[in-house]
Amino acid sequence: MGNPTWLRRLFFKDKRLKLLSLVIAVLAWYGIKGTVGQHWLDRSVPTIESASATRTMSGVPISVVVRPEPQVSVTLSTAKVDVILRGSSSVLQKLTRADIRALVDCGDIGSSTNCELPVMVKVPQWIDVSTIARPASVRVALGQAR
């Protein structure tokens, strides 16, 4: 199998010198790690909060949800809404008006009624609705379809 003396010499000759080298290496590693680690902590690390941005989408059309009678005519006080969105700036830049749905649910009110209902906004995943700016609610007039 060969002579194992070279292997024995590699590990066991000059034990003190090898132990001293190991101690110096460990101390140097801790010293460098502590300095570099502290330097990294001093930097401002981008987080979700600092990377988030807001964007106003103006003129988002409002859709009406009517249940169960589709023969009801619906008149809204305004047909469009402005929405302030919050999310990643790269995602917000790619967002279009077609990606956002503004809805008014008229399913729970009776026919021939005038009332004010809130506007609900549906957005893609990873985007939050910060504010429904103008208007947050719309006046709805229901009547019989002609």
Q: How many domains is the chain partitioned into structurally?
A: 2
Report the C-alpha gap between 146 and 144 in whole angstroms.
Answer: 6
pLDDT one-digit tens code per residue, 50-102: 467 888 888 888 888 876 666 667 777 778 888 888 888 888 888 888 888 98
Q: How confident is the model at residue 24 (pLDDT cuts 50, 70, 90)?
A: very high
For residue 97, give its domain range.
48-144
Nearest Cα neighbor of 52 from 77, 89, 4 is: 89
Q: Return d(Cα 84, Cα 58) in angstroms, integer.
A: 9
Clarify whether residues 90 and 132 are in a common domain: yes
CA distances from 114 to 69, 103, 117, 134 (A): 17, 17, 10, 20
According to DSSP, the residues that pair with 137 across neighbouring strands are 118
Which tops the pLDDT comparison, 50 or 16? 16
CA–CA separation, 77 and 86 (whole Å): 27
**Whether residue 134 sits in one domain with residue 102:** yes
Q: Are residues 27 and 72 in the same domain?
A: no
* Residue 122 and residue 53 in one domain: yes
